[in-house]
Structure 1
């Protein structure tokens, strides 16, 4: 399939939906066998490593908000920043992903079965991944280009939530077999829009930063719409562009795998137990028929 045909297929209206014909992709790595025969233990470990890593840094970041000994009221400011909203979503998504993959691994060990449809939990996971991937890249780009003050020291937490967040996204885009849809750009946009409404309500209610400022971020100052509105417009324009970029990384991953290991054919789980029962039942019935059918020679002798 050519490049333009691939893009045309990708832009079909049906791809707005959170549904996929090959649900096993959410439980597998791009670099394991295809068709996928099972959930790999190493992939379960991979998912938990990231989940625990992000959870640990999130806890440290919250504990250090305003200083280790700051009162609870001061630590509440942690939740007014988009960076922390996005990093919290990373923690929730990676933990959910690790839990779902672990459950699938345990289920497969018992039943040798993989999901045949995009279940509700897989749909929720796909939404969460879309919420994580694009905002992480946008936050990294916006922070270092428009928010960061060169006079401020760069601490470990700052590096984690403004650099490692995007490093994780790029690594996971290369490792995971999770599909990406260009037309899912509206999902992270809704997330960003909800945060935008929060900042407006927070400002209107008299909320301030820990330092007493009225603008949570200089580029999102509701008292200076000449700065805020162009930034909002840029986010609206760049959301589809960034989603298309993420999709391009996903396509490059698939192309590299197919060039190295051959075409990725549709995933083919083992037969359903009911199907096996039918097959075994048919064999058993044939055996019983053979047992009941007398041998022609023997019957003639008798």
Structure 2
């Protein structure tokens, strides 16, 4: 695995990795493992409800707009936005795929009573609407922010904030500063969303925006919930400017990069296990998963002529082919569902 890891690391050091290139959009929608489509949909929905419930509880607990001053609360709200967008994108893609199979059922009335029966053929490519493509890119960006920032928030809170301020260890506090990382790591382990080291640029920009906000808030005379002239004690630009400067440098240059590197390594380990000899039976068979998402039953799925991606950009006013014609496949190898 060492040589593969080194090769992957070298590949990350390229300019093309900076972009959110949707060469395989399905990776942002499907799980890494052999989880049924509807179980995956329920997981997405549960995480939306769970996260927004804690966000609502947090707002009611503080009863002040100042609760959004804190990085941990901002990151948790962004996590809620990520789960909501991921669920909506998955539901949108599922509707598109099922609409196709429903049209096939209509075209074959004799099969309508027992559902669409899968014929031997290659699945995809399905059309990818421009709006869904943009939503998937935003989902990917939020996934990167949530994963690395959640770990950073947990480390910074227990290393810097808690030893100084000694907040009570309530369920809310534990969820915001431990549960956040557990949720982020769980999603990282289950989903097949790729992680690129070059995307640290986006994390760096987000961190700079928060630091700029904290600085401007201090300059404008803003106070925290305890009426102190700073958001965090370690960001007291007026009382301890040197400590604040070193804290900022430590977060941007050490803690956040290390968190992102950890997230990338976990993504690499997840892919290695799923595609390895031992994890092969647990890994997701892409074509079968989307075949089931469409509600198809029985039949076979061809492994010949499988496109690199199951989705292709859809242009307005044009009709995209949804299934590769059977006569275009030579010597198909079938895998029965």
What is the TM-score when the length of structure 1 is the normalising length? 0.81
1:96-245 equivalence runs, <5 A:
96-111=85-100, 114=126, 119-149=133-163, 151-223=166-238, 224-238=240-254, 239-245=256-262
User: Whole-Å Cα distance in 2 between the matches of residues 215 and 25 of structure 1?
Assistant: 41
Q: 1:125 to 1:268 in 2, by over 3 A?
A: closer
Runs (4+) of structure 1 exceeding 3 A deviation are: 112-118, 149-152, 262-282
Structure with higher RCO (Cα < 8 A, 6+ apart): 2
Question: Does residue 53 in structure 1 map to residue 50 in structure 2?
Answer: yes
Q: 1:247 to 1:218 in 2, by over 3 A?
A: same
1:57-76 equivalence runs, <5 A:
57-65=54-62, 70=63, 75-76=64-65
Query: Relative to structure 2, which stretch is displaced further, 163-172 or 142-151?
Result: 142-151
User: Whole-Å Cα distance in 2 between the matches of residues 87 and 157 of structure 1?
Assistant: 12
Query: Per the alignment, in what secondary structure is the counterpart of residue 2 of structure 1?
Result: helix
The answer as to whether partners of 2:51 and 2:80 remain within 8 angstroms in 1 is yes
User: Whole-Å Cα distance in 1 between the matches of residues 213 and 8 of structure 2?
Assistant: 38
CA RMSD of aligned residues (A): 2.8
User: Whole-Å Cα distance in 1 between the matches of residues 16 and 68 of structure 2?
Assistant: 36
Question: Does residue 78 in structure 1 map to residue 67 in structure 2?
Answer: yes
User: Whole-Å Cα distance in 2 between the matches of residues 120 and 40 of structure 1?
Assistant: 23
> What residue number does 1:269 align with?
310
Q: 1:210 to 1:6 in 2, by over 3 A?
A: closer
What is the TM-score when the length of structure 2 is the normalising length? 0.73
CA deviations 1:32-52 (Å, max 9, x no partner) are 38xxxxx81211111111111
Per-residue deviation at 1:131?
1.6
**Any unmatched runs of 5+ in structure 1?**
34-38, 283-302
Q: 1:277 to 1:233 in 2, by over 3 A?
A: closer
Larger Rg: 1
Q: 1:202 to 1:276 in 2, by over 3 A?
A: closer
Per-residue deviation at 1:191?
1.4
**Any unmatched runs of 5+ in structure 2?**
102-123, 287-306, 329-337
User: Whole-Å Cα distance in 1 between the matches of residues 11 and 322 of structure 2?
Assistant: 36
Query: Per the alignment, in what secondary structure is the counterpart of residue 23 of structure 2?
Result: coil
| Equivalent residues, number | 269
User: Whole-Å Cα distance in 2 between the matches of residues 277 and 19 of structure 1?
Assistant: 24
* Larger strand percent: 2
